[in-house]
A = this chain, B = another copy of it.
Amino acid sequence: MAGIVECVPNISEGRRLDVVDGLASVITATPGVRLLDRTSDPDHNRSVFTFAGDPAAVERAALALIDATYRVVDMRGHTGAHPRLGAVDVVPFVPLAGVTMADCIAIAHRVGEAVAAKHGVPVFYYAMAATRPERVRLPDIRKPEYEGLAHLLETTHVPDAGPRTLHPAAGAIVIGARPPLIAFNIELDTTDLKLAQRIAKEIRESSGGLPAVQAKGFMLSDPPRAQVSMNLLDHTVTSLPQVWHEVETRSRAAGVAILRGELIGLIPLDAALAAAGDALKLDGFAADRVIEARFLE
């Protein structure tokens, strides 16, 4: 195997679960690919698939999923709380093992060219696959949404591939490459929501904290506890043990202990090993020291 790429397509259908089942089966039917996770949200009217496998197989599965989605999802009349530009809204490719970011950027651009040619859908490249600075952040691209995009395609939203006219049923599509995202929450032994909110504000990048970290304070209900909820957008920039220590130091200074951590979904091996290496004060601990990981080369 030449390496592992992950793909996390976001589809604008979260209510007709039989339709979503059909799309999931397109992924599982592709040899060399594993469907690792799927979630559907009826309020957002949106489904997210997480699948991974060898690069060529993941590229094939992504194209097959886009083809299949365009046959069954029509943006005309689509409603939902989540911002979106198209039937297949966002398709990020993530390098996991034995694959570079450049490989994933190349996959993103090939898939974009193919979708533009085959379906006549406007394509935007984002994140590491972006072709200009104002296309890096997904919210900036998605701001006009499906309803407002049509008249911007000739001016501010000239697509990176495909026609300058919106596809009525499919809308537009955003394709990119990014590092693996880690959703990590820390539960504090307190009901003091303000403490969690203050810690979140201090550590997140947007208010001058740690780079590639998003954070927010939440109140859990049963039992009532304050929680710092985080996204690590690039764990090689800011790691799990770094955010742990930052939260712990601030919490401890307020006289509050950490009760538990919580990982949402799956994490990459090197993110877990960074936490192990930090805890055991090991120099340069990485996958080459883990027996099973040697079989992934």
Residues on A close to B: CB < 8 A?
A: 1, 4, 6, 34, 36, 52-53, 96-97, 180, 184, 240-241, 244, 258-263, 266-269, 272-273, 275-276, 278-283, 285, 287, 289-296
Q: Are A263 and B279 in contact (CB under 8 A)?
A: no
Provide the bound-state CA to CA distance between A174 and B292, in Å: 26
Residues of B within 8 A of A97 (CB): 292
Residues of B within 8 A of A53 (CB): 295
> When A272-B290, A292-B4 are in contact, do A263 and B278 touch as well, CB less than 8 Å?
no
Residues of B within 8 A of A96 (CB): 291-292
Interchain residue pairs with CB less than 8 A apart (9): A1-B295, A34-B294, A96-B291, A180-B291, A262-B282, A263-B289, A266-B294, A269-B269, A287-B292
Q: Are B281 and A259 in contact (CB under 8 A)?
A: yes
Q: Are A296 and B292 in contact (CB under 8 A)?
A: yes
> When A269-B293, A272-B273 are in contact, do A278 and B279 touch as well, CB less than 8 Å?
yes
> When A280-B244, A281-B260 are in contact, do A289 and B275 touch as well, CB less than 8 Å?
no
In the complex, which of the residues B1, B276, B289, B296 contacts A273, with contact meaning CB atoms closer than 8 Å?
Answer: B276
Secondary structure of the A side of the interface?
Answer: mixed
Residues of B within 8 A of A263 (CB): 280, 282, 285, 289
Per assembly, the copies of the chain total 2
Q: Are A289 and B266 in contact (CB under 8 A)?
A: yes
Residues of B within 8 A of A276 (CB): 240, 272-273, 275-276, 279
Q: Are B268 and A291 in contact (CB under 8 A)?
A: yes
Q: Tell me the smallest distance from the CB of A241 to a CB of chain B, in Å.
A: 7
In the complex, which of the residues B4, B6, B267 contacts A289, with contact meaning CB atoms closer than 8 Å?
Answer: B267
Provide the bound-state CA to CA distance between A285 and B261, in Å: 10
Provide the bound-state CA to CA distance between A260 and B280, in Å: 7
Q: Are A4 and B295 in contact (CB under 8 A)?
A: yes
User: Which of A34, A262, A269 has the largest count of B CB atoms less than 10 A from its CB?
Assistant: A269
- List the B residue with the shortest CB-CB distance to A262: B282
Q: Are B244 and A279 in contact (CB under 8 A)?
A: yes
Q: Tell me the smallest distance from the CB of A26 to a CB of chain B, in Å.
A: 20
Residues of B within 8 A of A4 (CB): 291-292, 295
Given A272-B272, A295-B296, 10 more A-B residue pairs with CB atoms under 8 Å apart are: A52-B291, A52-B294, A53-B295, A261-B282, A266-B294, A267-B290, A267-B291, A275-B275, A292-B296, A296-B296
Provide the bound-state CA to CA distance between A218 and B163, in Å: 71
List 9 A-B pairs, minimum CB-CB distance, nearest first: A279-B279, A275-B276, A261-B280, A276-B276, A269-B292, A260-B281, A272-B276, A266-B291, A261-B281
